[in-house]
C-alpha cells in the first residue's frame, strides 16, 4: 500500500511539475508579447546590416512558442528585404539608407537583387551612404551603389577579382583504398571529377573560367557605373590589390572619404532636421514594412523551392516532392490564384524527386500561367523543375544549366583487403548486385549506366519540350555545363534577365490581371521538439555546436561534404560545389 501511495505521489508530482513548466513558458511568452510595438520615428535612417543569413523565403514559425520565446534560428527573407526598401522609398519618416554591414550573408544573385533595389530607392531623391572598417569584395560590390562611401583610416577593401578552388581526391583514394565508383553523362558534369583524377579537366576549367568571368563582368560593370571608374581601371586595381589600405582606396576612387565611425554619424546627421534616429532593417521589417499591402482579390502564388532536392517530404532547407507538390496543388486549386511563380534556389539533387515536381508543375501549367524566377542557383535538378515554365527569368549572376546526371557509390575493396577483411556474398539469383567490399562488376555498371543514360535523355527531352528546342540543340549546351543567367539568355535556357518582382509582373501579364497581391507558399510546420532545439534549456544539437565552433563559412564547407552521405539514387546536381571568393 505504501508503495502505491509513493507511486501515486511521484506521478502526481511529475504532472504538477510539467504543468508549472508550461505556465512558466506561457508567462514568458506573455511578457515578451507585451513588449512595445516597433514604431518608426521621424527623421529615421534605415540601417542595412546583412550579416544575418539571408534566404529567399523565411516564413514565420507557426508555433506560438517559437516567436514569443525567441527560439527560432536567425534569418532574413530576401522578399521582405526588397519590400522594406520599396516601402522606405515612399516612407516620409525615412530620410535615407546607411549601409553598414561587416559581412553579407547572401549569394551573389541575392546581393545583386538587393543592390538593384537600393539603386531604385535612390530615385526617390533620398540619400544612401555606406561605411565600414573593412570591406569584403561582396560587401564593396553592394556598398558601391551608395552616393558616398567611407572607410576607416586603418581599413581596407578586399578587391581582388573572383577565384574558386576544387579539391581532388584521386591520389588519396589510391593511397588509402577508399574510392567512389562513378557513372555519369556529360563531359562538364564535374561533381564527381575529383574522385576520378588528381587535377582539373580542360572542360571543367573552361566552364569555371567562363562562369567566373561572367559574374565578374556583372560586378565590375555595376561598380564602374556607380563609381565612374572604367572596367579596365577596376581590373588594374584588382590585379595590384590597390584597395589594401585607405589611402590607396581613396587615390583609386574606390571611396569618397577616410573617416572614423563618429565622423560618419556626423555626416548622417546633416541629412536630418533633428536628432538622428536609426532603425535596423530587421526592426523596420518587423514594424510591418516587410510586406506590400494590397486589397486586391486576385492573387499570384509565389512558391519557393530552396535547398538541395531530395526524395523526401522536405522542409525549409530541403526541396522535397512532398511539401512542394502540396503547395503547387493548393495554388492550382485556389480560384483566386490566377498565376504561379516558382522561385528556384537550388543546386539540384535527386533526379526522381525532380521528375515528380516537374510533373506536378506540368499539371498546374495546364490551368494557370507558370513563370520561374531563378535565385543564386537553379542548376541541374533546379533547372529540371524550371524548364517547363511559360517564361523563365534569371538574375544575370544566377548559376543555372548543368543539364546532366551522375551516380556515385563508395567502394572500400582495396582498403578492406589492405587491413585483412574479405567479404563473401551468397545470392539466389545472378542479378547485378553491388557490394562496397568488391570491385564493381560489368553487369552492375552496365545496368546503372543504362539508368543514367535514360534519365539524361529524359532530362534533355524535358528541356527541349519546355524551351521549344530540338534534342540536339539542348544536348549541345547540356553535358552538365553550368552557365550564368546572362549566358543562359544567349543560349536559350532563360527568357529574360530580372528579379523575382519582374517574374511576378510577367505572370500577371500572362494571367491578364492588373490588380493583384502575392501569396507565399509553402507553409512549414515544426514540431515542438524542433522549435525547442534553440532553447538554452535543451541540449544543443550537433549542428549548432559545429556552427558555433567552426563559424558560418567553415560550417558551410563541412555541410557541403556531409551532404554526400545523403545522395541516394541517380543525381541531377550541380557539377561541383562552388565557393566563389
Q: What is the DSSP string of 500-565?
A: HHHHHHHHHHHHT-SS-EEEEE------HHHHGGGSTTSPPPHHHHHHHHHHHHHHHHHHHHHGGG
pLDDT at 432 over 90: no
For the ranges 149-153, 291-295, 484-488, the lowest mean pLDDT is seen at 291-295
Parts of the chain belonging to CATH 3.90.226.10: 44-160+241-289, 299-529
pLDDT tens sequence across 218-273: 999 999 999 999 999 999 999 999 999 999 999 999 999 999 999 999 999 988 77
Task: Kindly report, residue by residue over 150-170, the tens digit of the pLDDT.
Answer: 999 999 999 999 998 888 989
Question: For the whole model, what pTM was predicted?
Answer: 0.84
**Dist CA 132 CA 130 (whole Å):** 7
C-alpha distances (whole Å) from 352 to each of 133, 466, 571 are 48, 18, 8
Q: Are 292 and 299 in contact (CB under 8 A)?
A: no
Say yes or no to pLDDT of 412 above 70: yes
Residues with Cβ within 8 Å of 37's Cβ and at least 6 positions away in sequence, in order, are 287
Residue 380 among the catalytic residues: yes
Q: Which of 370, 361, 360, 362 is nearest to 338 (CA)?
A: 370
Looking at 187, 380, 486, 547, which residue is catalytic? 380
The string of DSSP letters for 78-96 reads: HHHHHHHHHHHHH-TTEEE
In this predicted model, what pLDDT tens digit does every residue of 447-465 receive, in sequence order?
888 888 898 999 999 999 9
The CATH architecture of the domain made up of 44-160+241-289 is Alpha-Beta Complex (3.90)
Question: Domain 299-529's class?
Answer: alpha beta
Which residues have a Cβ under 8 Å from the Cβ of 82 and sit 6 or more positions away?
113, 114, 117, 499, 500, 501
Q: How far is CA 396 from CA 204, 216, 494, 532, in A?
A: 21, 11, 11, 40
3-state secondary structure of 120: helix
Contacts of 388 (CB under 8 A, 6+ apart): 358, 361, 362, 365, 370, 462, 465, 466
Over range 66-80, report the average pLDDT: 71
Choice among 189, 289, 299, 547 that is catalytic: 189
Active site annotation includes 226: no
Distance of alpha carbon 59 from alpha carbon 303, whole angstroms: 12
DSSP letters along 210-232, please? HHHHHHHHHHHHHHHHHHT--HH
C-alpha cell at 246: 585607405
Q: How far is CA 467 from the centre of its chain?
A: 25
Q: Please give, one letter per residue, the 3-state secondary structure of 439-507.
A: CCCHHHHHHHHHHHHHHHHHHHHHHHHHHCCCHHHHHHHCCCCEEEHHHHHHHCCCCEECCHHHHHHHH
Least confident span in 17-21, 78-82, 351-355, 414-418? 17-21
Question: Taking phi first (over 0 means left), then psi (-120 to 50 degrees means alpha), and beta for anything else, what does residue 297 get?
Answer: alpha
Average pLDDT over residues 38-49: 91
Q: Are strands 482-484 and 399-401 parallel, antiparallel or unpaired?
A: antiparallel
Amino acid at each position: 500500500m505504501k508503495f502505491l501511495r509513493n507511486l501515486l505521489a511521484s506521478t502526481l508530482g511529475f504532472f504538477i511539475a510539467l504543468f508549472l513548466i508550461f505556465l512558466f513558458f506561457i508567462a514568458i511568452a506573455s511578457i515578451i508579447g507585451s513588449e512595445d510595438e516597433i514604431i518608426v520615428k521621424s527623421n529615421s535612417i534605415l540601417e542595412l546590416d546583412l550579416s544575418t543569413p539571408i534566404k529567399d523565403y523565411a516564413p514565420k514559425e507557426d508555433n506560438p512558442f517559437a516567436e514569443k520565446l525567441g527560439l527560432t534560428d536567425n534569418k532574413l527573407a530576401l522578399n521582405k528585404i526588397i519590400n522594406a526598401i520599396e516601402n522606405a522609398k515612399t516612407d516620409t519618416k525615412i530620410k535615407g539608407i546607411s549601409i553598414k554591414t561587416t559581412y553579407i550573408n547572401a549569394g551573389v544573385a541575392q546581393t545583386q537583387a538587393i543592390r538593384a533595389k537600393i539603386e531604385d530607392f535612390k530615385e526617390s531623391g533620398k540619400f544612401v551612404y555606406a561605411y565600414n572598417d573593412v570591406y569584403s569584395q561582396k560587401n564593396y560590390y553592394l556598398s558601391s551603389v551608395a552616393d558616398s562611401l567611407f572607410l576607416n583610416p586603418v581599413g581596407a577593401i578586399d578587391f581582388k577579382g573572383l577565384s574558386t578552388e576544387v579539391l581532388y581526391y584521386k591520389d588519396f583514394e589510391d593511397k588509402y583504398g577508399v574510392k567512389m565508383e562513378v557513372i555519369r553523362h556529360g563531359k562538364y558534369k564535374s561533381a564527381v571529377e575529383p574522385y576520378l583524377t588528381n587535377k582539373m579537366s580542360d572542360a571543367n576549367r573552361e566552364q569555371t573560367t567562363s562562369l567566373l568571368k561572367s559574374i565578374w563582368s556583372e560586378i565590375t560593370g555595376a561598380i564602374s557605373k556607380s563609381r565612374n571608374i572604367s572596367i579596365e581601371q577596376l581590373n588594374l586595381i584588382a590585379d595590384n590589390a590597390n584597395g589594401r589600405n585607405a589611402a590607396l582606396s581613396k587615390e583609386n576612387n574606390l571611396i569618397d572619404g577616410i573617416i572614423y565611425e563618429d565622423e560618419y554619424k556626423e555626416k548622417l546627421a546633416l541629412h536630418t532636421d533633428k536628432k538622428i534616429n536609426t532603425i535596423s532593417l530587421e526592426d523596420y521589417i518587423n514594424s510591418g514594412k516587410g510586406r506590400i499591402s494590397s486589397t486586391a482579390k486576385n492573387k499570384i502564388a509565389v512558391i519557393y523551392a530552396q535547398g538541395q532536392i531530395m526524395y523526401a517530404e522536405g522542409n525549409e532547407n530541403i526541396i522535397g516532392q512532398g511539401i512542394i507538390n502540396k503547395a503547387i496543388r493548393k495554388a492550382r486549386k485556389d480560384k483566386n490564384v490566377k498565376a504561379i511563380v516558382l522561385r528556384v534556389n537550388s543546386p539540384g539533387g535527386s533526379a526522381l524527386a525532380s521528375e515528380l515536381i516537374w510533373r506536378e508543375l506540368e499539371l498546374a501549367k495546364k490551368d494557370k500561367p507558370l513563370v520561374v524566377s531563378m535565385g543564386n542557383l537553379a542548376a541541374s535538378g533546379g533547372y529540371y523543375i524550371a524548364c517547363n515554365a511559360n517564361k523563365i527569368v534569371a538574375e544575370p549572376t544566377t548559376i543555372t544549366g548543368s543539364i546532366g546526371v551522375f551516380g556515385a557509390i563508395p567502394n572500400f575493396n582495396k582498403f578492406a583487403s589492405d587491413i585483412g577483411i574479405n567479404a563473401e556474398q551468397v545470392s539466389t539469383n545472378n542479378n547485378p548486385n553491388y557490394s562496397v567490399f568488391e570491385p564493381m562488376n560489368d553487369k552492375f555498371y552496365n545496368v546503372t549506366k543504362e539508368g543514367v543514360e535514360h534519365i539524361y535523355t529524359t532530362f534533355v527531352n524535358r528541356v527541349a519540350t519546355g524551351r521549344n528546342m530540338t534534342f540536339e540543340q539542348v544536348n549541345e549546351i547540356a553535358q552538365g555545363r553550368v552557365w550564368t543567367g546572362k549566358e543562359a539568355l544567349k543560349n536559350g535556357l532563360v527568357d529574360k534577365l530580372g528579379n523575382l518582382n519582374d517574374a511576378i509582373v510577367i505572370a500577371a501579364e500572362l494571367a491578364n490581371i492588373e490588380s493583384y497581391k502575392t501569396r507565399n507558399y509553402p507553409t512549414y510546420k515544426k514540431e515542438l521538439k524542433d522549435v525547442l532545439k534553440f532553447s538554452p534549456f535543451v541540449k544543443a544539437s550537433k549542428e549548432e555546436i559545429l556552427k558555433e565552433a567552426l563559424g558560418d563559412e567553415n560550417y558551410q564547407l563541412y555541410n557541403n561534404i556531409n551532404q554526400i552521405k545523403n545522395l541516394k539514387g541517380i543525381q541531377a546536381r550541380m557539377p561541383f560545389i562552388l565557393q566563389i571568393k
